[in-house]
Structure 1
Amino acid sequence: MYTIILAGGFGTRLFPLSRSNYPKQFIPLFGEKSLFQKAVLRASLFSKPEEIFVVTNDTHKFLVEDQLNQIIIPCNVLEEPCGKNTLPAITYATLKIHEIDNNAIILALSSDQLLDETETYNQAIKAAEKLTKKYIVTFGIVPTTPHTGYGYIRPGDKLEGGYKVSAFVEKPDKHTAEKYLKERYLWNAGIFCFSANFFLDECRKYAPEVFNAFSHNVAKAYELTPKISIDYGLLEKTPNVAVVPLSTAWNDLGSFEALYSISEKDINSNVVNGEYITPDGKNNIIISDKLISTIGISEMAIIDTADVLMICPKNQTQKIGEITEQLRQKNDDRVVNHTIVHRPWGTYTTLLRSKTFLIKKLVVAPHKRISLQYHNHRSEHWVVVGGIAEVTNGENTFLVRTGESTFVPANTIHRLANPGDVPLEVVEVQNGDLLTEEDIVRCDDDYQRK
């Protein structure tokens, strides 16, 4: 069996933990592994590494590759020119798999869900596989509560191992959700199983604007294809959709309230990641690197990061999108990046910012290097605080050891490289009238960035 993992989302529903350039699927929310890594490990239950295809974008491509290296599962990585929702992404990957094996059975997973890989899960996958000759199969989580944050599926005629889908329904209000629970509706999990041949035939019939777009090269295909989900673009149009019920712990982590519901709690039902002191606080979710103390505060979410503090009632955390939208309208970089920004060569951390100077800490991974570049509006002063740097500064290339420094004037071609086996740590002081990532002119880059 082949597996497609969709890992291109920019969602910020867990802001400020999640940012556009470092969204929730790459954050190790539970233990040492991210949701993306857990999805890859789940895929490896049924697929070999060469049978797993990850669909992402240029922003997250290097995060994907880095996290795959950490779990030593070298999958195929497909880069979308731009995000056009789930139907184009799944079609793109399915066509790639079809070139290898036109009889392939494919499982399509989201990278940002939490799901227990129990024997029930394994049995559901096997049941779905048997239905793929005649149906595109989706999976319906057996509800445990009348949840208003999920779409639902109404099962129809009984099939071996599942049901025909009678209807897909939108997120309901509380009263309607209670009615759905009594009538044995299922939560729409956004997990699919199908044969490559059958999926492409159905796409040709019911989503021709998507299918025909991919008769062109990838760049042109993404210009032509509409932006549309697999639910709206295909599953709600074809009569050949089945659902397999799945009774297992599942959560799409769409809010901090959802994160609270599945996390370990203390004796006062607080979920705490960090240090928290209170004489009376109950039912809170607290995430912070510093001590948080409260009096008279319960049923709240307090999420504290290096640059953003978010406080709201726990049952209103689904409204966080309104905050991120306001930040986007202001072109505020904090909705995009943390103070720690990941790059294919390592990370940089913003330590201090003013109008005329910016101080960063750069960590360059062993045997990696930044692009050969120059800046029109700023100079840079590098102080090595750990490891040994190989510096290109104008026409000269030389080593800078721990405790030593070098100055790079504006408009000077330069590069920082780590020739060693340990991370290189450098404090960078920028001076100038434009201190942004836009003031980078790349002359050469190991990672083919623009």
Structure 2
Amino acid sequence: MLIPIVMAGGSGSRLWPLSRANYPKQFLSIAGKGSLLQQSVSRLDGMSHADPFVICNEEHRFIVAEQLRQVRKDHSGILLEPFGRNTAAAVAMAALFNARHDRDSLLLVLAADQVIKKVESFHKSVAAAIDHANKGNLVTFGIEPDSPHTGYGYIKAGEEQRGSNPIKGYKVNSFVEKPNLETAQQYLKDGSYLWNSGMFLFKASTYLEELEKFRPDILKACESAFDSHFEDLDFIRMSSELFSQIPDESIDFAVMEKTKKAVVVPMDANWSDVGSWSALWGVSNKDEQGNATRGDVLTEQTQNSYIYSQDKLVATVGVDNLIVVETKDAVLVANKDKVQDVKSIVNQLKQQNRAECNQHQEVYRPWGSHETVSQGERYHVKQVLVKPKEKTALQMHHHRAEHWVVVSGTAKVTKGNETFLLTENQSTYIPVGIPHSVENPGQVPLELVEVRSGSYLEEDDIVRFDAQASKFGGDY
């Protein structure tokens, strides 16, 4: 049985300010219907496969679960990484987990942050790769290049491998790092070079054997961490201490560049890793002037630009080759040819410890979401949405009081020893030091406005009384 392994980690920093550390690009709807993660699992429709096995950062667990629920996709497990340890370890964990039931299970390793527009071509290449993987090969998918792109690694295809599928496989002669323009032009002219897609297909047993051969230290550390795993609701967790001992290495460096079993199958699927704003512009629909726009945008004498509006009207006049991205708390203006340097802005934000690096104003939680509306030195106003039948954790604060006003829906409020209902236009006051929570007992979303006031308003002023919330963190 084919088991899709969807790797949903990564920070997507080159797509800042839309992509943030706590809500990176794989969870954004930026190229077609649904988020990139949702598109990744949806494009498997029409193939014979088991439920996807998803690997993600622990911080993103509820986002992944909710996005899968939204598109009604089941999963065979969501493996949580306490922190990133690169793709060699992520794939090893997936292989160890699935090898428990069948060591020869076929793993289709996919990245959750890629765009593939020709889904039928994707299916055909996967079908061709199955034949080679069943013979004990480690198959990678090479994208047929249409330009001398300098932002991708390349694969040089060698001797043709026999197979029953019309799409041929080839021995991998070599993996090549991102080239300069002149070298990339030579690769394109040569015709035997393919872009490295970062997608793979192989037996779990084959990958584990090759990893043991070339990087036994990685495999041993992964096995130790895997032995500590336990299930928590839909999630698979493991010891952070043991996980921290796993070397940080990519699957390419650890295995694919060393093994003699590497086979590449070409894929002509209008693929992009959406690794920059210019790449996103490239896969977006454009008007007659070459502009790709999303949101409330007006253009005049504007050409070859990508303009994104999240919250406000964005208007451009007399500009060419620009990236303009507006979110509720940041604006990016960049030359389309310089967008790789957006990462430098993110590094500056990290150095200054600014919230815009990690978090949007809207924050998603398992029970709903909250969004900053306004804030000052001694007040903080938020819009809070609680999903039907969901509840926030019971908690208290040492330095702030809160006022809650119900805008729509019904709130079941716990305040100290009291429990009562509030409906539209009703409100309550939560004094400092009083345990409290809010629940939505109804069938429609609960919307309320929360006004915090006090001498200290940060999220770490919180004491949780619910065991699960206290153990796994997160506000509310």
State the distance in 1 between where 2:217 and 2:46 align.
34
State the distance in 2 between where 1:215 and 1:16 align.
37
State the distance in 2 between where 1:187 and 1:326 align.
31
SS at match of 1:406: strand
Partner of 1:199: 207
Paired residues of 1:43 and 1:52 also in contact (CA < 8 A): no
| RMSD (Å) for aligned C-alpha atoms | 1.5
Q: How does 1:41-440 map to 2 (within 5 A)?
A: 41-48=42-49, 51-75=51-75, 76-132=77-133, 133-160=135-162, 161-184=168-191, 185-216=193-224, 217=228, 218-219=238-239, 220-288=241-309, 289-440=311-462
SS at match of 1:398: strand
Per-residue deviation, residues 340-383 of structure 1 (Å, max 9, x unmatched): 11111111010011111100000001111111111122111111
State the distance in 1 between where 2:188 and 2:380 align.
55
The TM-score with structure 1 as length reference comes to 0.96
* CA positional deviation for 1:270: 1.2
Partner of 1:11: 12
State the distance in 1 between where 2:269 and 2:299 align.
35
Per-residue deviation, residues 134-157 of structure 1 (Å, max 9, x unmatched): 311100000000001101111122
Q: What residue identity is the alignment partner of 2:182?
A: H
* CA positional deviation for 1:297: 1.3
Paired residues of 1:370 and 1:445 also in contact (CA < 8 A): no
Per-residue deviation, residues 193-222 of structure 1 (Å, max 9, x unmatched): 000111111111111111111332232541
State the distance in 1 between where 2:346 and 2:68 align.
29
Paired residues of 1:372 and 1:445 also in contact (CA < 8 A): no
SS at match of 1:74: coil
Mean Cα deviation higher: 115-124 or 256-265: 115-124
Taking only the aligned residue pairs, the percentage that are identical comes to 41
Per-residue deviation, residues 270-300 of structure 1 (Å, max 9, x unmatched): 1111233343111111111422223321111
Count of residue pairs the alignment pairs up: 449
Mean Cα deviation higher: 39-48 or 382-391: 39-48
* CA positional deviation for 1:446: 5.6
- Unaligned runs of 5+ residues in structure 1 are none
Distance 1:294 1:71, change over 3 A: closer
* CA positional deviation for 1:44: 4.2
* CA positional deviation for 1:445: 5.5
Mean Cα deviation higher: 401-410 or 292-301: 292-301
Q: What residue identity is the alignment partner of 2:379?
A: F
SS at match of 1:224: coil
State the distance in 2 between where 1:293 and 1:405 align.
40
Structure 1: 4+ residue segments shifted above 6 A: none
Paired residues of 2:407 and 2:448 also in contact (CA < 8 A): yes
State the distance in 1 between where 2:48 and 2:467 align.
33
Paired residues of 1:380 and 1:429 also in contact (CA < 8 A): yes
* CA positional deviation for 1:47: 4.9
